[in-house]
Amino acid sequence: MVKHFSAPYDRSMSRHDEIRQEMLRRINDGEWPVGSDIPHEMVLTEEFGAARGTVRRALSTLVEQGLIERRKRAGSRVVGQTSQTSKLHIPLIREEIESRGHAYSYRLLEREVKPGLHGIGTRNGLLWVRCLHLADGAPFQLEHRTINLDTLPQAAEQPFRVTGPNEWLVREVPATRVITRISAAAAEAEIAEILAVPEHAPLLIVSRETFMGEAHLTEARLSHPAEQYQVTTLSI
């Protein structure tokens, strides 16, 4: 089969990646302008000399990226992003700190079993942990965590004295759904002291709830001094 375009694409790419690159180029160069219909699958299939499945794979990637949209019978068209979607990747705090070339250390501040709340942990209660993650000895992240002992009874046996709940959860527990919220706030007196920042200093706060199916597993509130931490995401 003939390839009907001859740009010097990386030969190590798979065919669907090559095709996707070429489609990207056409969008880029305005050959397929925003708002316009792009050719039907079968036309592209012939043009690229590939199977329909391969062309579809290239197209699906563009759909994921939000560059095109497709509707049955109506065909596919290039869209200007109505909202930018990107992948947010929050690493283990230990890795984050070590990747910056700092020494990681950990301190457990509080650990307590509390009664359930809002229908969560009504049987076995909630494990409440407060701990601090440090970079080169300086406070980097304050972690407030609750673990649902109904769904994760094994957590009750974890002391979390030398490693944080995160490390354990990551190793032992898979999650199917995660809700992450990122916000800013001024440091209250108690938190300011723990994080060694002035009162009312700006904090970047990452809150995360984790579920397995419908079951609530754990919730975390991670507070960082604003100067030290930012969240970065890449496009899909």
153 binds DNA (CB under 7 A): no
182 binds a copy of itself (CB under 8 A): yes
- The DSSP annotation for 151-198 comes to T-GGGGG---SSS-HHHHHHHH---SEEEEEEEEEEPPHHHHHHHT--
CB of 13 to DNA, least distance (A): 8
Which is closer to DNA, CB of 14 or CB of 122?
14
Instruction: Pick one of 76, 148, 151, 158: the residue that binds DNA (CB under 7 A).
Output: 76
118 binds a copy of itself (CB under 8 A): no
CB atoms within 10 A of CB 32: 21
User: What are the tokens at 54?
Assistant: 């391969």
Residue 179's closest CA among 216, 231, 228, 229?
Answer: 216
> Residue 228, SS3?
coil
26 binds DNA (CB under 7 A): no
36 binds a copy of itself (CB under 8 A): no
Give the per-residue contact string, 43-62, with DNA (x = CB under 7 A; - = no).
Answer: ------xxxxxx-xx-x---
Q: With contacts defined by CB under 7 A, name the span among 11-19, 136-144, 182-190, 217-225 that binds DNA.
A: 11-19
12 binds a copy of itself (CB under 8 A): no
Instruction: Pick one of 11, 72, 73, 87: the residue that binds a copy of itself (CB under 8 A).
Output: 87
CB of 15 to a copy of itself, least distance (A): 16
Instruction: Pick one of 17, 49, 69, 92: the residue that binds a copy of itself (CB under 8 A).
Output: 92
Is 182 exposed, middle or buried (CB count within 10 Å of its CB: 0-12, 13-18, 19+)? middle
Q: What are phi and psi of 106, to 5 degrees?
A: -140, 140
Tracing tokens 């769904």 back to the chain, one arrives at 151
